[in-house]
Amino acid sequence: MGKMEEVENLISELARRGLAVDVLVNNGAISPLLKGTFCDTTLEYWEKVLEVNLTGPFLLSTRLGQKMAERGSGAIISISRVSVALFLASDAASYTTGATLFVDGGVSA
């Protein structure tokens, strides 16, 4: 989902099926180290990393966020750990707005 055409196709298919997205969890990512060391990373692969890790979540968040705003509800969660999503997608987190939460089990404490 790193290309606008892919995102637009997804939104069109959701509309065709009469579905709406209530929660978007941006959690997919690839590493430049999948192809060896960082110094082995080609520009072509680096551009793919940026497309998957940054452009995709940006496009999904802006386009689906617009649909959520039109409906007056929804949540967008950008995380690197799935366990955090369970809380943030729940009703218990509905009062948590505009915050950056570091949930790391005390590792950074």
Tens-level pLDDT at each residue, the chain (109 residues)? 678 999 999 999 999 999 999 999 988 788 777 767 888 888 998 899 899 889 999 999 999 999 999 999 898 988 766 666 677 778 887 777 777 777 666 777 6
User: DSSP string of 64-103?
Assistant: HHHHHHHHT--EEEE-S-HHHHHHHTSGGGTT--S-----
pTM above 0.85, yes or no: no
**Residue ranges of domains in the chain, CATH in brackets:** 4-91 (3.40.50.720)
Please, are residues 89 and 23 in contact by the beta-carbon 8 Å criterion?
Answer: yes
Two tokens at 65? 């966020």
For residue 100, the one-letter residue type is T
> Helix, strand, or coil here: 24?
strand
> Helix, strand, or coil here: 26?
strand
